[in-house]
Amino acid sequence: MDSCGAESDVACSFRTRFGMPRRPRLEMPGVPLHLTHRGVNRAATFLDDEDFQRYLGCLAAAFTERGIALHAYVLMSNHVHLLLTTPAPGVLSTAMCQVGRRYVPAFNRRHGRTGTLWEGRFKSCLVDSERYVLSVHRYIELNPVRAAMSETAEAYRWSSAGSSLGLGEDPRVTFHPAYLELGADATERARVYREWLDRGIGQDDLVAIRSHARQERALGNPRFQTMVERTLNRPVMVRPPGRPVKRGQS
């Protein structure tokens, strides 16, 4: 069963009750995932500080309950990005369903609205634990800077950047091993990560991260992608734009 965290309570209950199938996600125990979740019609999903705080509380409770490690996050005005690791396939879908059940009704009551808040189900993309996981980590925490919502990553309140840069503890965050390997102690790790963050993201990395997230594929080197494809018996490469060429055509 796939996540119903992006749907209304009615849709969630309907899908759960009647077992409506959906394409399984690419998930592997211990392999990080980049999750993206957008508001319906790109509408706002957070309108004030209470909304941001409530969502983070719902997220922390659901993830703690199910043993999901949250490595990096950012809550933008109409979407979220999370970098996380799950203990088993299917656990994330259940957790996000719980987040939706707790957050959406409260948001609707506070702001006098009805109906769904999220645009379909959330998207998730497997991420190679080597160079790629730190690239996604940086991509997530630089979102407010790219969107001109903040001059620096750490100045934006609703992200894990302050924790990553050693400016304060965030109880919601569990550092990924790739981050911990940046230095022998917290001070060194923060310094090295600061340098990494300040380099910014090249256009090639931006395109790769976004395309793999959009198509829910496996972001990593060819060896990693081959391993995932053989393990899950599923295609993991990003499809080029346009219709696939039929056999016999050039």
Residue bearing the bigger pLDDT, 4 or 59:
59
Q: Which two tokens stand for residue 108?
A: 């609707």
229-238 per-position pLDDT tens digit: 999 999 999 9
The predicted pLDDT at position 147 comes to 96
Question: Look-up: residue for tokens 């829910």?
Answer: 216
Q: What is the mean pLDDT of the chain?
A: 90
The predicted pLDDT at position 131 comes to 83
Residue 5, classed as helix, strand or coil, is coil
The predicted pLDDT at position 76 comes to 98
Q: Which two tokens stand for residue 6?
A: 């992006």
Question: CA-CA distance, 85 to 27, in Å (whole number)?
Answer: 10
Lowest mean pLDDT among 3-7, 50-54, 92-96, 124-128: 3-7
Question: CA-CA distance, 30 to 227, in Å (whole number)?
Answer: 14
Residue bearing the bigger pLDDT, 250 or 242:
242
The predicted pLDDT at position 120 comes to 85
φ and ψ at residue 7, rounded to 5 degrees: -105, 170
| Among 30, 68, 62, residue whose Cα is nearest residue 173 | 68
218-227 per-position pLDDT tens digit: 999 999 999 9
Question: CB–CB of 224/128 below 8 Å?
Answer: yes
For residues 72-79, give the mean pLDDT: 98
| H or E element, residue 73 | strand 69-75
The predicted pLDDT at position 14 comes to 46
Q: Residue 75 above 70 pLDDT?
A: yes
Q: Could you give all domains of the chain from N- to C-terminal order, each with its CATH number? A: 9-220 (3.30.70.1290)
For residues 51-64, give the mean pLDDT: 98
CB atoms under 10 Å from CB of 221, counted, come to 12
pTM of the model: 0.88
List C-alpha distances in Å: 18 to 3, 57, 93, 98, 107.
14, 30, 17, 18, 27
4-25 per-position pLDDT tens digit: 444 444 444 444 454 555 667 8
The predicted pLDDT at position 130 comes to 78
Residue 218 CA neighbour count, 13 Å, CB half: 26
The predicted pLDDT at position 4 comes to 47
141-181 per-position pLDDT tens digit: 999 999 999 999 999 999 999 999 999 999 999 999 999 99
